[in-house]
Structure 1
Amino acid sequence: MRSSLLALLSVGVPPSIGRLLHATRHGLVADTVTSNAVPMRKHLVSPSSHRSSATTPVYRRTAAVNRPANLTNVHDVYYIIDLIVGNQTLAVSVDTGSSDTWFVSDPLECVRFWWQGPEYKPNCGLAEGFIGNLSGGVLDNPPFVRAYMDGTFVSGYYGFDDVTIGSITAKHQRVGVVNYTFWAGDGLTSGLLGLGDDQGQSGGEVSKQEESYLALGGLPPVEVDEQSWARTKIHGVDAIPEWMFEQSDLGLYIIKPDSWVYGRETEDIDPNPAEKGSLAPNELTTNTTQFPVLIDVGATLSLLPKGLVQQLYAAFDPPAKYLSTNGLFFALCNATVPKFGVNIGGNTFYFAPDDLLRQTARDPSGDYCRIGVTDVNGGPYVLGVSFLTSVVAVFDIENTEMRFASRTKY
């Protein structure tokens, strides 16, 4: 996990004031647009490509944890940013669900995994790596090793160098240099910018308008609904029981939403909705079940409990259906998209229709589009890019809270 370039601190204000305030040494001030807003490149992955994620652990269901799974791309979009290390510019993917910033070195050893036969020629699909030596030296111990949930791993060493994002340079930053890996990328990135917190480190905001921004020390230059600002606590990693942590250490951006809202809103009332086996128009349902959710800009899809997601699928008109060839739920690309929102801090933030039914991710026939929310049994649960594109999300480390506002133009 990386050292902080800047972390925000905030306190509550009455809802009628609009924008939330945050505390500084000079008193209470409103969040303001920062000049340190770096555009992120949005990369659309071909829906037919098959790869493990080059940007984030893929939250994948398998029949047995010790059995290799078919690595199918379920992430059709991720974000790329330029990271300057010393005097070299490296393209890396942005990930709030991962804590380490790392990049590959040149030379690099790319290896095959145990289920791939000896005839398999590994191709990690990584862009040009770092050449030469880090200006701040290296650490012999501990080694840098990370394994991800899709079976990929990186291995190398820690070192120190100046790191620049946009106009901000952080001196003598600890980074991971990878010289040995099993990976499956698409040749565009050479590493990962991990914005998960470690000992109070790394902060920013992520949003998307005509382009997306990583903003440090303030808000990105996008329009938001000032009355929609809401805050919620960041919980420790022990909030997700599946991870089996005994201590409540902070490390990732885990929140507990108040409720979930889903259903249809149309002008025409269907007198016999039961005949279609789905929800009636104008019927919005609120699910008040609370569970921890990881905020992760490195995940395209949002992963939520099976019961909740199945109700969302039924609310499409016609209802969504499972396609065995893709292993996910799809709906007709011209289907009526229901409303789906998450209530955080008393305000409901709705997914954009284009993110609920992703027109860029189609089945081979071209008639069905993938839904941006998928179901998992037992978690961990994730709010990914399909949610984050319609909001501004503030990752406030010092005050251990997140703040959200709805975008007015999207």
Structure 2
Amino acid sequence: MKSSLLAFLAVGVAHSAGRLLYATRHGLVPDTVTSNVIPMRKHIVPSSQHRSSVVKPVYRRTADVNHPANLTNVHDVYYIVDIIVGNQTLAVSVDTGSSDTWFVSDYFECIRFWWQGPEYKPNCGLADGFTGNLSGGVLDNPPFVRSYMDTTFVSGYYGFEDVTVGSITAKNQRVGVVNYTFWAGDGLTSGLLGLGYPFMTSLDGAEQNQAPYDPVFTTMWKNKLIDPLFSIALSRESGDQGEPDGEVRTPEGSYLALGGLPPVEVDEESWARTKIHGVDAIPEWMFEQSDLGLYIIKPDSWVYGRETEDVTPAEADQGAVTTHGLTTNTTQFPVLIDVGATLSLLPKGLVQKLYAAFDPPAKYLSTNGLFFALCNATIPKFGVNIGENTFYFAPEDLLRQTARDPSGEYCRIGVTDVNGGPYVLGVSFLSSVVAVFDIENTEMRFASRTKY
């Protein structure tokens, strides 16, 4: 009955006066700014403090066994919110690439592995944890376990406690408490706020077959505390910026908005929508189920290249400029929308064309394991086509001036190439859009941010 109702509602979606409408149990309504907005703090870890890359908890399932699938990324940009667990405030990283909310306890063991040597002092980069007891008690079985392909992991137990995000409280919420870990955090956070679907919570423990439970966001909308959607706006700026005339302005912040839109300006004519696909859409995961797990979309095409101007004298007199030189790749493939990923990870054949379009072309630096370009290189255009709209990466996200090689001459490119999925659109893409994660209509919506 539920799925039939949603299929019926999805038919009635329309545009009106540039504002994208969506269907909910309340009828056909526009996306509106919500009062349930939580500011996010951006933290950039300096290159001198980078630890080993954290690999996100993404899994593939076969008939008999489940294994984590490799989703590597350089994690040096974190978006942080404060949540209240019981009566304690904890800083956690926001993550659309996982579902559990977990945090370390006041005492946890940070371990080292044998290959690090006995002189190595482990530093998991986790802030102060939860103290005392969970008011709803704990579960002795199953244990809370998340394993990662780069040997990082968290281990502990489940318990129940009220969890408040902004002004919304999930009562007696199931959470993970970590007391044993090998981790590589940012030094400011105590855990993760996972915003994925319940299905991903079933992939816990050695057997990988526990019953799923409702994560924090799911609990909130099922209890009708919010509409079943959230949206995210990520700012690439983190402090006051000086204008050319010397005036200092405060840049737009980063926001997690529960049940509606964040308070940032967007191009209203740029709204586009696309379906959220089930976990079986990513072949590398080897799922047989079509359950919704994470936010997987299939963009219509990709645009890249350097624009060239070709203007006749008559056109120039009229102020006209015709641009050429951009290539459109219509190959469709599934992509994760992941706020917890600093870079975007895309197919090698596509990204190599992007690297070649830099002037001078980007090059691989073996000391860093990624592609870099001269910090003053000419930056090409790179965009994602969704529906009838193209969402371009900002130049400052394609060539990250804050992430340089030891010489300081080369800057890291915000898109990296991988030989196989899962592919990811991370912070380097999301900094240019508002992203709406609509659970009820099983779709994502995007709008371009106005310049900030």
Q: Please give the range of the TM-score, normalised by the shorter of the 2 chains.
A: 0.7 to 0.9
Tell me the amino acid that sits aligned with residue 407 of structure 1.
R
Q: Is the 8 A contact 1:15 1:227 kept in 2?
A: no
Residue number in structure 2 paired with 1:90: 90
Residue number in structure 1 paired with 2:439: 397
The verdict on how the C-alpha distance between 1:331 and 1:374 changes in structure 2, with shifts beyond 3 A counting, is same
Distance 2:14 2:136 in 1: 47
Distance 1:12 1:383 in 2: 29
Residue number in structure 2 paired with 1:65: none
Counterpart of 1:320 (choices 329, 344, 362) is: 362
Moved over 3 A (4+): 9-17, 53-59, 266-269
Counterpart of 1:267 (choices 285, 288, 309) is: 309
Residue number in structure 1 paired with 2:20: 20
Matches within 5 A, 1:39-78: 39-53=39-53, 56=56, 74-78=74-78
- CA shift digits 1:191-218 (9 cap, x unpaired): 0111111157634211134211000010
Gap runs ≥5 in structure 2: 1-8, 60-69, 200-213, 218-228, 236-251, 312-322
The verdict on how the C-alpha distance between 1:42 and 1:398 changes in structure 2, with shifts beyond 3 A counting, is same
Residue number in structure 1 paired with 2:234: 208
2:359 pairs with 1:330: no
Bigger drift between 300-309 and 392-401 goes to 392-401
The verdict on how the C-alpha distance between 1:73 and 1:404 changes in structure 2, with shifts beyond 3 A counting, is closer
* 3-state SS, counterpart of residue 116 of structure 2: coil
- CA shift digits 1:149-174 (9 cap, x unpaired): 33210011111111111111111111
Distance 2:142 2:256 in 1: 30
Tell me the amino acid that sits aligned with residue 150 of structure 1.
D
The verdict on how the C-alpha distance between 1:41 and 1:10 changes in structure 2, with shifts beyond 3 A counting, is farther
The verdict on how the C-alpha distance between 1:109 and 1:338 changes in structure 2, with shifts beyond 3 A counting, is same
Residue number in structure 2 paired with 1:183: 183
2:404 pairs with 1:362: yes
Residue number in structure 1 paired with 2:268: 226
If asked which structure has higher relative contact order (CA below 8 Å, sep 6+), I would say: 1
Distance 2:286 2:154 in 1: 23
The verdict on how the C-alpha distance between 1:24 and 1:50 changes in structure 2, with shifts beyond 3 A counting, is closer
Q: Is the 8 A contact 2:24 2:441 kept in 1?
A: no
Distance 2:171 2:58 in 1: 32
Tell me the amino acid that sits aligned with residue 385 of structure 1.
V
Q: Is the 8 A contact 1:55 1:78 kept in 2?
A: no
Distance 2:397 2:12 in 1: 30
TM-score normalized by structure 1? 0.88
TM-score normalized by structure 2? 0.80
- CA shift digits 1:213-239 (9 cap, x unpaired): 000010000111111111111111111
**1:53 Cα shift?**
4.2
Matches within 5 A, 1:234-273: 234-267=276-309
Q: Is the 8 A contact 1:51 1:73 kept in 2?
A: no
Distance 2:232 2:272 in 1: 16
The verdict on how the C-alpha distance between 1:112 and 1:47 changes in structure 2, with shifts beyond 3 A counting, is same
Tell me the amino acid that sits aligned with residue 36 of structure 2.
N
Tell me the amino acid that sits aligned with residue 52 of structure 2.
S
Q: Is the 8 A contact 2:230 2:436 kept in 1?
A: yes
Distance 1:94 1:55 in 2: 15
Distance 2:440 2:55 in 1: 26
2:333 pairs with 1:307: no
- CA shift digits 1:331-371 (9 cap, x unpaired): 11111111100111221111111000101001111111100
Bigger share in helix: 2
The verdict on how the C-alpha distance between 1:284 and 1:34 changes in structure 2, with shifts beyond 3 A counting, is same
Residue number in structure 1 paired with 2:101: 101
Distance 2:134 2:190 in 1: 16
Distance 1:318 1:58 in 2: 36
Q: Is the 8 A contact 2:14 2:21 kept in 1?
A: no
Distance 1:32 1:186 in 2: 33
Bigger drift between 339-348 and 286-295 goes to 339-348
Tell me the amino acid that sits aligned with residue 40 of structure 1.
M
Tell me the amino acid that sits aligned with residue 193 of structure 1.
L
* 3-state SS, counterpart of residue 406 of structure 2: coil
**1:123 Cα shift?**
2.0
Q: Is the 8 A contact 2:13 2:22 kept in 1?
A: no
Distance 1:93 1:385 in 2: 13
* 3-state SS, counterpart of residue 247 of structure 1: coil
* 3-state SS, counterpart of residue 348 of structure 1: strand
Tell me the amino acid that sits aligned with residue 41 of structure 2.
R
C-alpha RMSD of matched pairs (Å): 2.3
Counterpart of 2:329 (choices 279, 287, 293) is: 287
